[in-house]
Amino acid sequence: MPSRAFELLWTTASVPKSGQRADENEDACAANPTAGRFAVADGASEGWRSGPWARHLATAFAKAPPDPASYPAWLASTRLEFPNGQPEALSWYAEEKQAQGAFATLLGVAFRESANGGGAAWKAVAVGDSCVFQVRDGAIVTAFPIDSPGRFSNQPPLVSSTGNGPEPDWFAGRAEIGDEFFLLTDGLAEWFLRESVGGRSAVERLNEHLDNPAAAAFRAWIHDLRQSHALRDDDSTAVRVRLEHARRVETPS
């Protein structure tokens, strides 16, 4: 791996919807910081094994991200590698539900060294309403694939584990040292866009809680947002990636 001018520092936090255990959380995130890849996926409540499918999708992106030309083949092989559920005798609904498959959003971001020097080039793929926000000096400079809080719906496009799904959206951009990227599942993404208009910056508040080393603190904050109806009661996941100068490692010549 050639040395890069930048380093990617990342952190994540996730809280399941009220009354659910951590293992019932159907949001997933995956990271491969060495290769510069990060993904979140949000398993649909109605799907059969949406949580495992979301984890599988996010992990597949972190392992080997697709580009627009390779996406259909990438999805086909990702589906093939998704382990089948239990083969034993199933109830009538388990049988039908398993045939319908699992569904999840996907938001993947990949960084690479910019040929122009200094910063990074980045690209993103999105199916559904999980979002990435590029923030510079506390202000949102890129919002993808949704840029307005009014555009979230209850029926986002989803990647299916069985059938052909919708075409993804793609984005490519440049990043500078000091830029922050927030990958958020829909509830938090909607909150982030809404709260970024005037008032105390959403970036500042999200950073404050992501930086709090006590795991319970993030959970408590999400709980408070739900109680005040600022955030809808859904699985909520955030990943933050910061571009920093690479620490120089002296190598003997």
Which residue, 56, 170, 217, 17, is CA-closest to 205? 217
Closer to other proteins by Cβ: residue 19 or 198: 19
Q: CA of 217: how far to CAs of 177, 184, 201, in Å?
A: 29, 18, 19
Q: Could you list the residues that contact other proteins (CB under 8 A)?
A: 17-19, 24, 45-46, 48-50, 52, 85, 91-97, 100, 154-155, 232-235
Closer to other proteins by Cβ: residue 116 or 154: 154
Query: What are the φ/ψ torsions at residue 246 (nearest 5 degrees)?
Result: -65, 140
Closer to other proteins by Cβ: residue 33 or 85: 85
Q: Tell me the two tokens of residue 187.
A: 């509830």
The least CB distance from residue 60 to other proteins, in Å, is: 20
- Buried b / exposed e over 88-108, threshold 16 CB at 10 Å, is eeeeeeeeebbeebbbbbbbb
The least CB distance from residue 225 to other proteins, in Å, is: 14
The least CB distance from residue 20 to other proteins, in Å, is: 8
Closer to other proteins by Cβ: residue 84 or 253: 84
Q: CA of 144: how far to CAs of 20, 60, 97, in Å?
A: 29, 21, 32
Residue 120 near residue 174 (C-beta atoms within 8 A): yes
The least CB distance from residue 122 to other proteins, in Å, is: 31
Q: Where are the beta strands (DSSP E) in the chain?
A: 6-15, 27-32, 37-42, 103-104, 106-113, 120-127, 131-136, 139-144, 159-160, 169-175, 180-184, 236-245
Closer to other proteins by Cβ: residue 89 or 249: 89
Q: Tell me the two tokens of residue 173.
A: 């951009």
The least CB distance from residue 79 to other proteins, in Å, is: 17
The least CB distance from residue 145 to other proteins, in Å, is: 21
